[in-house]
């Protein structure tokens, strides 16, 4: 079941205080005959009203706007008339933090302004972005049903933790308890590597904070994100987690209980020096569409750790990571994949599952338990 019938145009509402950006986004979106912009709004207040009245399949929402900013508008939309929202984010530290707030509040993804229609980079990302928008819009009913379930899971007075809001956000509660391992698996694991893209930050937040402080291996994360965003993501996950989480730097050692997140705009590989594995950060391969690229990292992990690799594929568009996960399975390693219903975009896990590479296919809420079953 999907939110938009096959063959029917996808209706988009564009909310941005810049007339230039509104026009640019409309031109880009309507370059695809399956997409129709049914309205534009100049600020969050107008955006909330038009979202209610026009009932779009998806909203693009600028963050910095007068009268009502994008986070406040997102909160209004998700509480009264939930619809998939993609934030339009500036590539700054503040922009990264606000974007992570938005993703926690229910936004499905974001469009970095540097990669908007006004950038030369659009040639590289346009087709991928339009495909992502269409996939999200068609899964509207599934995504919004999940949002409602999550929103109802914890109510005021239930005794669950209620995080303090920042800016205009009201974050969903995070289960800070350690996950209960599934049935013990008889397979030695020396490292865990996780790949994710669209919908990845909230998915990672459903996994990393549930790992114990004494996790006996290191964990690497490759999340498709621009530079600066991955540092903010690492800091946020670290504040919520028992394990240590930080953005990876060149020559970092792989240590138990430590999570290293590949830096945005760079490539992360693993090499062994003096008998110890360490991180290598570089610009290569420069021709890769994704920086960081899941395949690049996982292939290097499989090469060094072989059958002791545990690879985890979370929500994301496309098939990046499939080649690396094939190498993991070819060397006898193990694979966990997020199931379709809990994904924002069922692309990267689908590629792994349909290739017959997944040993376990589980909802995002069970990924931590499945991972811990190997220890």
Distance between CA atoms of residues 110 and 139, nearest Å: 17
Average pLDDT for 140-156: 80
Asked if pLDDT for residue 69 goes beyond 70, the answer is yes
Joined tokens for residue 317? 């568009």
Q: Render pLDDT for 184-209 as a digit per residue (tens, 0 to 9).
A: 999 999 999 999 999 999 999 999 99
Stated pTM of the model: 0.90
Q: Could you say which architecture CATH assigns to the domain 191-372? A: 3-Layer(aba) Sandwich (3.40)
Every domain of the chain and the residues it spans:
10-146, 191-372
pLDDT at 286 over 70: yes
pLDDT of residue 221: 98
Q: Is the dihedral of CA 277, 357, 108, 265 positive or negative?
A: positive
- Could you tell me which residue, 54 or 288, shows the higher pLDDT? 54
Percent pLDDT > 70 in the chain is: 89
Mean per-residue pLDDT, 64-76 = 96
pLDDT at 298: 98
Q: Which residues contact 176 (CB under 8 A, 6 or more apart)?
A: 161, 209, 210, 240
Report the pLDDT averaged over residues 242-261.
98
- Segment 294-321 shows an average pLDDT of 97
For residue 122, pLDDT over 60 is answered with no
The per-residue pLDDT for range 152-186, each reduced to its tens digit, is 764 443 333 333 333 344 444 445 578 888 889 99
**Superfamily classification of domain 10-146:** Response regulator (3.40.50.2300)
pLDDT of residue 121: 54
The confidence score (pLDDT) of residue 156 equals: 42
Higher pLDDT, 247 or 90: 247
């Amino acid at each position: 079941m999907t939110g938009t019938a096959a063959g029917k145009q996808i209706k988009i509402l564009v909310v941005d205080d810049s007339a230039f950006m509104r026009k640019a986004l409309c031109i880009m979106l309507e370059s695809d005959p399956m997409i129709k912009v049914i309205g534009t709004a100049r600020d969050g207040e107008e955006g909330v009203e038009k979202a209610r009245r026009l009932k779009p399949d998806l909203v693009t929402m600028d963050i910095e706007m007068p009268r009502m900013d994008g986070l406040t508008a997102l909160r209004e939309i998700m509480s009264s008339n939930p619809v998939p929202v993609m934030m339009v984010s500036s590539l700054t530290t503040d922009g990264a933090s606000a974007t992570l707030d938005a993703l926690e509040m229910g936004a499905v993804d974001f469009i970095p302004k540097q990669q908007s229609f006004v950038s030369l980079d659009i040639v590289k990302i346009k087709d991928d972005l339009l495909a992502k928008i269409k996939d999200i819009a068609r899964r509207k009913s599934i995504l919004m049903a999940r949002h409602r379930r999550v929103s109802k899971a914890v109510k005021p007075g239930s005794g669950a933790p209620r995080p303090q809001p920042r800016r205009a956000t009201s974050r969903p509660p995070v289960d800070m308890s350690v996950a209960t391992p599934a049935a013990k698996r008889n397979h030695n694991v020396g490292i865990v590597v996780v790949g994710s893209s669209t919908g990845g930050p909230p998915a990672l937040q459903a996994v990393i904070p549930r790992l114990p402080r004494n996790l006996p291996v290191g964990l690497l994360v490759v999340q498709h994100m621009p530079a600066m965003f991955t540092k903010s993501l690492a800091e946020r996950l670290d504040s919520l987690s028992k394990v240590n989480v930080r953005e990876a730097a060149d020559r970092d050692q792989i240590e138990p209980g430590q999570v290293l997140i590949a830096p945005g705009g760079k490539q992360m590989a693993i090499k062994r020096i003096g008998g110890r594995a360490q991180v290598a950060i570089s610009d290569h391969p420069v021709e890769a569409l994704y920086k960081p690229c899941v395949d690049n990292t996982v292939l290097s992990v499989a090469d060094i750790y072989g059958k002791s690799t545990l690879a985890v594929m979370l929500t994301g568009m496309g098939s990046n990571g499939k080649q690396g996960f094939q190498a993991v399975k070819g060397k006898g390693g193990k694979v966990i994949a997020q199931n379709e219903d809990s994904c924002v975009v069922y692309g990267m896990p689908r590629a792994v599952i349909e290739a017959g590479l997944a040993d376990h296919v589980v909802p995002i809420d069970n990924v931590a338990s499945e991972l811990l079953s190997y220890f």
